[in-house]
Amino acid sequence: MLPIKPHELFAHRVAEAYVLHLVSINRRPVYRYSSGDIEVDRTFLMTLLDGYLADRRDESWRFRFYLRLLDDSNTKDTRVVFSGGKIPKLSKRGIRYMNAFIHEFGDMLVDIGGRDEEGMMTMPKSEGDHLSI
């Protein structure tokens, strides 16, 4: 098994923090899009986010960018007697970026116009293992 790279680790943290943000707002991991809810999970978000930026930026830039999206405040909760770890939390900038990112993804799906028999938007058909986006 290959060791995980720092930019991948922090992309996972950003994705996890965004899923937790969506759950805290909507009670489930969905982004409220104008054409309907977009359900997401951490793996999908990490792959989408890092895949999009991998074509445009190098690993060190992505590492620093993901750090800026995370909230690094270390405020202590006085009600806690023991901390077994901190959940990742996005900064305001991180929330705005991820909302815009998923909104743009929804726009892309609407433009493609793919729907299944139940009327749900779908990803484009794949050729082999590569998506034809």
**Per-residue pLDDT in tens (0 to 9) along the chain, 133 residues:** 678 888 999 999 999 999 999 999 999 999 999 888 899 999 999 999 999 999 999 999 999 999 999 998 777 778 888 878 888 999 999 999 999 999 999 998 888 877 777 877 777 666 554 444 4
Q: Give the helix/strand (H/E) hosting 131.
A: strand 130-131
Residue 133: what pLDDT?
A: 42
DSSP state of 2: P
pTM of the model: 0.82
* Coil/strand/helix, residue 101: helix
Residue 127: what pLDDT?
A: 58
Question: How many whole angstroms separate alpha carbon 110 and alpha carbon 113?
Answer: 5
The β-bridge relationship of strands 30-33 and 130-131 is: unpaired
Question: How many whole angstroms separate alpha carbon 63 and alpha carbon 82?
Answer: 30
